[in-house]
Amino acid sequence: MANNYPQFKSRSEAARRVLQKGARGIASIEKIAFKGVAFWRRAGFPFRAPSVPRGVSVPPKEPHLGAYFDTSFARKPAARAVRRILVAGPVTAMVKFLARPKVEGIDRLSDLAKRTDVGGVIFAPNHHSHIDTPLMTTAVPSPWNDRLVVAAAADYFFDKRTKGTIAALALNAFPIDRETTSRKSSDELRALLARDWSVVIYPEGGRSPDGWGQDFKAGAAYLSIKTGSPVVPVFIDGTGSVFGKGMKRPRRGHVRVIFGAPLFPEENDNTRRFNERIEKAVTLLGDESLTDFWTSRQRAAAGRSTALTGPEYSGWRRQWSLYEHRKMGAAGQRRRQKRRWPNLG
């Protein structure tokens, strides 16, 4: 039977012809593109920005990045619907794959859920990794998970429009200025809390640089005192080993999220004192994650809880004790080997 396909002398000839065709195609695209660029270069106003007359001062543009990034679109119904899908789907899948999280202590929030006089809640976790935020959006229980805003570093997440839009849409991130004390951020967060939105604020202000925690800044305590919203201390254990600061790519690991009992500002509390209480509560949860409920209480009562910020000394001894610390925690699970039967020969 006759073959209708074109016959080539050899395979190399066929390949050469395909390459030639491809090269011709690319050349024609390039030609069109060059024409377009040339037109654009030649074209003036109104196709390009107008030139500024001499002697005229142009008022500075309203800043729209960083702390000024407008995230209100992310709290509109359409964006919330998209976020629900994103969080229930890819975000949860990613968190489960990377961190295999174990969430504990939700029962401590059962009363808070029933209280009609409490609207927004401030969640105050420690912070070791970029994965903490997706982790919190999946770990925070109902009824707060549907109206949850995450305070994120304005200089990191909102320095570019695309990045900021994705952060706001996927995680409902809200820009917080880490460098300067911005009244704008705090006023907007207060307004959100008043409208029954809950907020995740990392009181440490940023990811841990060396694996140990950092001293708590008073943002969460300040907001709570101003709004009367309760602060729920949260301890996240193990994310530093999954995707800690300085790691180029994430590594799978085991993570625990422990929610503590909600704290309300007391009558004689000022921001500093309340912040200390929050830090103490997170420290206690940290100890609970390393030991157990009873031991952590005993150690706290005796003043022997392991501080979030780690030992006082610096240098290699600090790193060394971090290794020991991690071995005890959720991250250490990865290193535990399965039981092996002895080789009896």
Partner 1 sequence: MPRPGFVLDVDRSTPPILFWRGENYSLEKLPADRSRVIYAPEPEAAIEDIDSAIRHALLNPIEMDPLPTLLFPGMKLTIAFDDISLPLPKMTRPDIRQRVIESVLDLAAEAGVDDVHIIAALALHRRMTEDELRHMLGDRVYDAFAPRGMLYQHDAEDPDNMALLGETPQGEEVEINKRAAESDLLVYVNINLVAMDGGWKSTATGLSSYRSLRHHHNTHTMENSRSFMDQHKSELHKSNWRMGEIMKKHGPKIFQIETTVNNDTFPSAFNFLGKREWEWNARDRAKFVASSAALSRTPARMRRNIFQSIEAPHQMTSIQAGEVEAVHKVTTANVYRQQLVEVQGQTDILTMGIPFICPYNVNSIMNPILVMCTGLGYFFNLYRNKPLVREGGVIIMTHPTTNEFHPVHHPSYIDFFEQVLTETTVPSELEARFEKKFAEDEWYKHLYRTGNAYHGVHPFYMWYWGSHALQHCGKVIIVGGDAPTIRRLGFTPASTFNDALEIASDVVGRSPTITHFHTPPIMIADVK
Residue 295 makes contact with partner 1 by CB under 8 A: yes
User: Which residue lies nearer to partner 1 by CB, 108 or 163?
Assistant: 108
Residue 301 makes contact with partner 1 by CB under 8 A: yes
User: Which residue lies nearer to partner 1 by CB, 107 or 215?
Assistant: 107
Residue 261 makes contact with partner 1 by CB under 8 A: yes
Which of the ranges 64-72, 138-146, 176-184, 296-304 carries the binding residues for partner 1, by CB under 8 A? Answer: 296-304
Residue 292 makes contact with partner 1 by CB under 8 A: yes
CB 291, min distance to partner 1, A: 8
| 3-class state of residue 235 by DSSP | strand
**Restricting to residues 167-226, which ones interact with partner 1 according to CB under 8 A?**
none
Q: In the structure encoding, which two tokens stand for residue 260, read together?
A: 């503590």
Q: Which of 50, 302, 337, 342 binds partner 1 (CB under 8 A)?
A: 302
CA angle 258-260-262, nearest 5°?
A: 145
Whether 175 and 192 have beta carbons less than 8 Å apart is answered as no
**Rounded CA separation 198/186 (Å):** 14
Q: Which of 30, 111, 179, 266 binds partner 1 (CB under 8 A)?
A: 111
Q: Buried b vs exposed e over 57-86: b needs ≥16 C-beta within 10 Å? A: eeeeeeeeebbebebeebbeeebeeebeeb
Which of the ranges 21-29, 47-55, 106-114, 141-149 carries the binding residues for partner 1, by CB under 8 A? Answer: 106-114
User: Which residue lies nearer to partner 1 by CB, 105 or 211?
Assistant: 105
CB 139, min distance to partner 1, A: 16
Whether 173 and 153 have beta carbons less than 8 Å apart is answered as no
Q: Which of 65, 86, 194, 300 binds partner 1 (CB under 8 A)?
A: 300
CB 274, min distance to partner 1, A: 18
Q: Buried b vs exposed e over 264-296: b needs ≥16 C-beta within 10 Å? A: ebeeebebeebbebbbbbbbbbbbbbbbeeeeb
CA angle 293-299-302, nearest 5°?
A: 140
327: left (phi over 0), alpha (psi -120 to 50) or beta: alpha
User: Which residue lies nearer to partner 1 by CB, 117 or 324?
Assistant: 117
Q: Which of 145, 182, 298, 333 binds partner 1 (CB under 8 A)?
A: 298
CB 244, min distance to partner 1, A: 27
Q: In the structure encoding, which two tokens stand for residue 249, read together?
A: 């790519």
Task: Say which residues have a Cβ less than 8 Å from residue 274's Cβ, sequence separation at least 6.
Answer: 218, 221, 224, 225, 231, 263, 265, 266
Residue 304 makes contact with partner 1 by CB under 8 A: no
CB atoms within 10 A of CB 311: 14
Residue with tokens 């290794």: 323
- Residue 48: phi and psi, rounded to 5, are -125, 165
User: Which residue lies nearer to partner 1 by CB, 245 or 297?
Assistant: 297
CA atoms within 13 A of residue 23's CA, in its CB half-sphere: 6
Q: Which of 8, 73, 97, 293 binds partner 1 (CB under 8 A)?
A: 293
Q: Which of 75, 80, 82, 104 binds partner 1 (CB under 8 A)?
A: 104
CB 161, min distance to partner 1, A: 45
Residue 266 makes contact with partner 1 by CB under 8 A: no
CB 117, min distance to partner 1, A: 9
Binding footprint of partner 1 on the chain (CB under 8 A)? 104-105, 107-108, 110-111, 114-115, 261, 288, 292-295, 297-298, 300-302
